[in-house]
Structure 1
């Protein structure tokens, strides 16, 4: 306890030394200041005292914001202040939201707001996970009915061992990278990616995460006992009296079973809504104040019957059993001007997906608290209102769309070639044209087909499946390929993506507050079988990437120059590189490491541009053969100019095989010869060999 009334707790989680403080800052709220190294994050939690009249849901709002000043920078926007949330902030916000939302009890309808503000950011720390820890601690100390203690942790598998709270350098080498939230009762939320991990690896990682989080959960429980506010009592929501509920149930039971047997989503919903209206109208003695209670009772009976059919009869809303995948059909290359395209349909869910190959200057630059990052693979997920037969204004992507796109991107990223091997910026665009559940997984499947249609050399095809769960007492059913209503009425949404060899991405949310281990194991095994079936169906359309790029896509040639020669290539005010592009009709990009890529639909023009690039950069590679002009003949050898300003010496012993009496007997000034670059001497002068270049084919000459 500090002298100013603040309370501080310290804990080590894996490789992270973390400090939590309450009572000194933001004292009008339940607040926790989280510190690790130079990172400082303020997390606050505030709840309204009463629910708004008519509210029948839990209005939780979570916000995560990174102050650019936290990294010692000024925002790059015109107004030089933070604007709306960035994509990275939204993804971090979703991690916090999904970690705490399931831990509030049913029937709690007071508005709650959780804010995480990054005040100081150390690049070696995990801002999102620290925010989860702060949110769980702040809610535990509050008067809100938060059913903790809980916490969040990042787990990576590196070199065959599991590491908790790895640093960014370690994460780049990780075979498995998961963010896990858990309470003392079990798993709450999982999000992450992998390099074709096995199901056993995932289970082991999640059990390891739960073990690592136990000390933090104990800390929160002890801290709450010392500093926490008394928890407010949960007032039960009013319900229809037992007699009227029994009357409604007797009227509804048999007609509802018939309605639930209708396979089509819209037809089923229309019949159920009509039936609920008929039963409500026929129920006698309902006053105006009881109308909402009747509506709630009817909906509860509806949900209970859906769940009963699944766990007792093994029959789902569309008539499937628990493991059957909906019928799948797909097409590839159906949009003539798109570089790559697919149409993926699974039941009543459908995605139109395109893939576009772009040049290096089309890379996405992302401003973060630490600086600017570049992204070469983009995936955009769109969910228009017509996909569910609704009307609403078209605005920018919401949090859900950004989250679904990030999951699909992570699933496909694992099988993409490196940028050096395939130097294109890739953009996947997924338009959900019809939806009845698992639309993000349709994006993964359709995205894979579009990439292969584009000729992108994937290491393996990827498919995704959404798993569900219905648990009633000791009875439970794990569902493969869930419908939208099964997501809404069920207890879990567990998305698993991967190849035939292993998992590349997964995302799990549940409404139980905690997920038992045996359910996790069963869901992963069932997902593996479902994934294998989907991959087999996709292979009927396209089993491997096409051998050639589409004719309308740009071709790329690449070379590498020394980083110190980048300025020479660009030229003053960019004039040199602009001239190369305009004179050849190509695009030229260069990164900070000296990788130069030339993009053009005309192969001859691209080669001409590459030659101009090498001339402008004045750079040569050791071990390559170049064409050059003899500029001088001396007793000890001859000088050869490869590019303007780039000359080297061919020593007399390197002019030809055997003894050379004098260089002039082999070459004359002005001769065009081939030379092999042996390297440079201690003064940086090029050492060349005509003898070693003899017999080089024209195609192997670098310039």
Structure 2
């Protein structure tokens, strides 16, 4: 039997356990991570690529088996299908901190599969999957330059909590996911309720201690069972690289001095084409090619990288801005007449067209997974069409990048959404990136804020987002505000920060270097704050607060609370009562199990009428009350039967129809008429005695008793008319 190796350490309130040697022994590295009753199996395997690639083919798949939580998948098919949004986001959460920790020029295929095999109702397995991936790579032969640790930190009533439970995360005003090595950071994710920068910085410092403990735990496992690492044979030709650099560096420098992206890219393409034709032409019979296209691509990328980075460290950015300068910003709202809210946000050569749609509770996104099913009332969808960067690509469904960028922008804006009791609408934001040259997710945040205010959504505060970049060579570094695509590609960091004037609502840090210091993170947060406040000022010049009225095309929505015992009565046999109400008022009525009733309509005031009728239906009939819109349902010689509320009828005797003698009921009423009646009494058999005569008399008396507005003197009226 194979040896089983196990290490454990207290992290937060529970023990973190790493075990290998029992499951998935044919993988290069496989680890089971346990925390509470949550368990994740992570396996890592490498293979030679089946074709020549010019990129590192790392693939990460995180899957949640519903059997881990004792659940069946919903719907007809009982086998798990395509990955959920949570699974896609967790796959990215694993991928992003690991990718920079493989050798430059390493092109073997590496696959990491993380499977949740047990899930309790307390501990999110996503952090365990990151730790497991780091451990599986560390104990195997794959040349991974780790380990890294991962931890989640929350803040409840001002106190930080390591790896909070699902329940505690709901109470937390700050949620941080941090990954890194023992003393450095390589990924941050935050969602927060307008938390100041100093709180975020303090949280990062506290979380680093747990990261250190987890890295030590993985190193303990490696010491017990780690395998010798592969030494990758990296393709390189320094003599060729020096030759091309000497010949073409000046041309590249001139190209990177062109400010307009399209012109710059066209010039760069011409230079690259010339190099390829000279050093790697299409092979002819008997002709020897000097180098592979992959090697030539790496050499060219290295030359461009060095030139761009050197220019930035000398204070020269590709578009000529200073390192703290934001690109020109323009904002427009209300440009889509039929959308409930819309905005066009442009920052330099990055542009986002955003539309907001308001709906009812039936429009919620139902989310099912390891935890209890719930309805999502606030959602943001991010789209990145290929024309935004002048490319031609097949149009398929949203990719991982689009889902990830949308989730970041959604987190940033959801922190300022109104409370459900104040604004019960389901909100969907769609951002189409129509131009892109860096930081399109932060343009989505800004455009989303403008569109929400244009729609009349009473957000707590406007939100803006900015991306901070970094170029670092040894002890010299430059932080860049509002980075371009080239600065992102050739730089070391993409630090996205979104928030209000009061504090941070979301952070996402991705790096291309191995790791960053705490001091650079703190400096970046402060730099992002200054840029964010400037953006908020610019946005406020277009729209500074939510519109007071919703679009005429948005549904009108109201909600009332009824006693749950009346739900059956409101619905009626076979839905008879609720269907009649909807037809009568032109509304859509939705009922929750707790007795909350949502009523919506487009145009008119049907939602208010339906609310009044529902209130009347779900209250016990009250003697002495007037029912102003009672419906005549049948006529007899002795009077009329009138429905005062759906399902409840009473008799209005002929003598109670009007003052004086009434010979025929037909002379006053016909079936279907709506009349005011007063409930006079309820007899021992539960029969209702109604009076139209009494209702009319009381309504007349109340009308006459109301004070009438005083007539203005004639002279005053004339004076106002002249004015």
- TM-score interval, normalised by the smaller of the two chains: 0.7 to 0.9
Q: CA shift at 1:18, angstroms? A: 2.5
Cα contact 2:40–2:116 (8 A) shared by 1: yes
Equivalent residue, structure 2, for 1:310: 312
Quick one: which of 259, 262, 266 aligns to 2:255?
259
C-alpha change, 1:363 and 1:245, in structure 2 (3 Å) is closer
Q: Which moved more, 1:517-526 or 1:562-571?
A: 562-571
Q: Is the 8 A contact 1:618 1:646 kept in 2?
A: no
CA distance in 1 between counterparts of 2:315 and 2:535 reads 22
- Contact 1:470/1:478, CA 8 A, preserved across alignment: yes
Q: Name the counterpart of 1:296.
A: 298
Given that residues 195 and 503 in structure 2 are in contact (C-alpha distance below 8 angstroms), is that contact kept between their aligned partners in structure 1? yes
Mapping of residues 115-514 of structure 1, within 5 Å: 115-241=113-239, 244-279=240-275, 281=277, 287-292=288-293, 293-311=295-313, 313-514=314-515
Shift of 1:61: 0.4
Question: Does the residue aligned with 2:98 lie in a helix, a strand or coil?
Answer: helix
Are 2:479 and 2:524, in contact at CA under 8 Å, matched by a contact in 1? yes
Shift of 1:551: 1.6
Task: For 1:397 and 1:463, locate their aligned partners in 2 and report how far apart those are by CA, in whole Å.
Answer: 24
User: Are the aligned partners of 2:279 and 2:290 in contact in 1 as well (CA < 8 Å)?
Assistant: no
Determine the structure 1 residue equivalent to 2:43.
44
Alpha-carbon deviation of 1:257?
Answer: 1.7
Structure 1: segments with no counterpart, 5+ residues: 630-640, 648-669, 675-694
1:520 matched residue in structure 2: 521
> Which stretch shows the higher mean deviation, 259-268 or 230-239?
230-239
Q: Is the 8 A contact 1:325 1:481 kept in 2?
A: yes
Distance 1:646 1:385 in 2: 61
Q: Does the 8 A contact of 1:467 with 1:479 survive in 2?
A: yes
Distance 2:612 2:386 in 1: 51
Deviation at 1:378, TM superposition (A): 1.2
1:667 corresponds to which residue? none
Rounded Cα–Cα distance in structure 1 between residues aligned with 2:434 and 2:530: 27
Residues 264-273 or 559-568, more deviating: 559-568
Distance 2:470 2:494 in 1: 7
Q: Distance in 2 between matches of 1:540 and 1:396?
A: 36
Rate the CA distance shift 1:617–1:362 in 2: closer, same or farther, 3 A: farther
Q: Secondary structure at the match of 2:368?
A: strand
CA distance in 2, matches of 1:619, 1:133: 60
Contact kept, 8 Å, 2:174 with 2:192, in 1: the verdict is: yes
Query: Shift of residue 573 of structure 1?
Result: 4.3
Structure 1 residues 576 and 94: CA distance shift in structure 2, 3 A? farther
Secondary structure of the equivalent of 2:189?
A: strand
Aligned CA distance change for structure 1 residues 645 and 551 (closer, same or farther; 3 Å): closer
Q: Secondary structure at the match of 2:557?
A: strand
Q: Are the aligned partners of 2:280 and 2:296 in contact in 1 as well (CA < 8 Å)?
A: no
Q: Is the 8 A contact 1:462 1:499 kept in 2?
A: yes
Shift of 1:586: 0.9
Which residue of the partner structure matches residue 75 of structure 2? Answer: 77
Please tell me whether residue 107 in structure 1 is matched to residue 108 in structure 2: no
Q: 1:418 deviation in Å?
A: 1.0
Instruction: Kindly state the Cα deviation for residue 673 of structure 1 after the two structures are TM-superposed.
Output: 8.9
CA positional deviation for 1:376: 0.4
Report the CA distance between 1:51 and its aligned residue: 4.4
Contact 1:151–1:182 under 8 Å retained in 2: yes
Residues in 2 aligned to 1:47 and 1:539: alpha-carbon distance in whole angstroms: 52
1:53 Cα deviation after fit: 5.0
d(CA) in 1 for partners of 2:123 and 2:200?
23
1:382–1:431 Cα contact (<8 Å) kept: yes
Unaligned runs of 5+ in 2: 282-286, 629-642, 650-676, 682-701, 707-723
Q: Determine the C-alpha separation between the residues in 2 that align with 1:296 and 1:108.
A: 12
CA RMSD of aligned residues (A): 2.8
Tell whether the 8 Å contact from 1:70 to 1:120 is kept in structure 2 after alignment: yes
Alpha-carbon contact 2:5-2:224 (below 8 Å) kept: no
Point out the more displaced range, 120-129 or 100-109.
100-109
Measure how far apart 1:170 and its partner are: 1.1
Please say which of residues 301-310 and 251-260 is displaced more in the overlay.
251-260
For each residue in 1:581-623, what CA deviation from the matched residue of structure 2 results, as whole angstroms up to 9, or x when unmatched?
22211111223332212112344311221123234444799xx
Equivalent position of 1:688 in the other structure: none
SS in 1 for 2:91: helix
Larger radius of gyration: 2
Could you list the per-position Cα deviations for residues 218-249 of structure 1 after superposition, in whole angstroms to 9, with x for gaps in the alignment? 111111011111111132322242xx433322
Number of residues of Structure 1 aligned to a counterpart in Structure 2: 638
Partner of 2:633: none
**1:240-287 Cα deviation digits (max 9, x unpaired):** 42xx43332232232222111111112101111212333555679995
How many angstroms apart in 1 are the aligned matches of 2:393 and 2:250? 36
Q: Aligned in 2, Cα 1:247/1:513: closer, same or farther, shift over 3 Å?
A: closer
CA shift, 1:626, in A, is 7.5
Structure 1 residues 228 and 673, CA gap change in structure 2 (3 angstroms): farther
Contact preservation (8 Å) 1:328, 1:347 = yes
Question: Match for residue 87 of structure 2?
Answer: 89
* Shift, 1:643, TM fit: 6.2
Measure the CA separation in 2 of the matches of 1:9 and 1:576: 64
Provide closer, same or farther for how the CA distance between residues 349 and 76 of structure 1 changes in structure 2, counting only shifts above 3 A: same
Query: How far apart are the structure 2 equivalents of 1:509 and 1:597?
Result: 42
Provide the C-alpha distance between the structure 1 equivalents of 2:536 and 2:577, rounded to a whole number of angstroms. 48
- Provide TM-score, normalisation by structure 2: 0.84
Q: Structure 1 length normalisation: TM-score?
A: 0.86
Cα distance in 2 for partners of 1:557, 1:493 equals: 43
The answer to whether the Cα contact below 8 Å between 1:7 and 1:22 also exists between their aligned partners in 2 is yes
Per the TM alignment, residue 37 of structure 1 is displaced from its structure 2 partner at its CA by 2.6
Q: Deviations over 1:628-687 (max 9, x none)?
A: 79xxxxxxxxxxx9967999xxxxxxxxxxxxxxxxxxxxxx85599xxxxxxxxxxxxx
CA distance in 1, matches of 2:90, 2:570: 39
Residue 456 of structure 2 aligns to a residue whose secondary structure is: coil
Structure 1 residues 63 and 175: CA distance shift in structure 2, 3 A: same
Q: CA deviation at 1:524?
A: 0.7
Superposed CA deviations along residues 353-385 of structure 1, whole A, max 9, x for unmatched, are 011111111111111123321100111111111
Q: Is the 8 A contact 1:627 1:673 kept in 2?
A: no
